[in-house]
Amino acid sequence: MKFKKVAVFLALIAVLAPGSACPARDLQSLLDERTSSVWYEGEPLGDMIIGARAQFAFIYADGKLAEAAWSDSMAPEWLKTGTGFYGGRETKKKALFIIRVRTIKNLSLDLSMITIGEKQLGPEDLLTNKHLAPLGDLPPGLTADLAVAVPLASVKGKKVRFSVGEYEAELEYPKR
């Protein structure tokens, strides 16, 4: 009987221990703090966006997000792949961003359409394998990702601006 009580007590401690019961929620809050969306060719109508060709979610990938993604077994593969570049030679003196593209209508996407901070993206900024990058003519209903690194000098300050063509959004960097 005493053994059962100890086993139940230990099981409760394991379930209620900080970080063990809610890594997904922690990861989601980190993602929410680091994400800003641009609706390409979309017009706001109340809480809705109408007529958009695509949605671009820009995710600032720092050490906290990378660590959380890799320590959470339920983290999506696209997030692990994108944050896998963090701390590598490709991101030295650069800021890492993951761009999730979700097309609603046909879209012809070129890196030069996208600006992060003061940096208009070019092929040199792309970390994703160029053969797997969602560039060129994209069909509706596609969700794909790009990992890019831009020089820190182009994204300095407390906020960073993202734009796709003339459509833009802003993200305040999370507190460290």
Identify the pLDDT of residue 43.
85
pLDDT at residue 17, as a whole number: 44
Q: Is the dihedral of CA 122, 126, 131, 137 positive or negative?
A: negative
The pLDDT > 70 percentage for the chain reads 85
**What pTM does this model have?**
0.84
Which of 46, 148, 139 lies closest to 91, judged by CA? 148
Q: How far apart are the first and last CA of the chain?
A: 48
pLDDT for 113 equals 97
Distance CA 111, CA 120 (A): 8
Specify whether the backbone of 132 is left (phi greater than 0), alpha (psi in -120 to 50) or beta.
Answer: alpha
Identify the weakest region by mean pLDDT among 9-13, 49-53, 115-119, 146-150: 9-13
Provide the phi-psi class of 85: left if phi over 0, else alpha when psi is between -120 and 50, else beta: alpha
**Residue 109 confidence class, pLDDT cut points 50, 70, 90:** very high
CA nearest neighbour of 146 among 110, 106, 93, 105: 110
Beta bridge partners of 167: 164
Position 7 confidence tier, pLDDT thresholds 50, 70, 90: very low
Residue found by looking up tokens 């040199």 in the block? 124
Distance between CA 71 and CA 64 in Å, rounded? Answer: 11
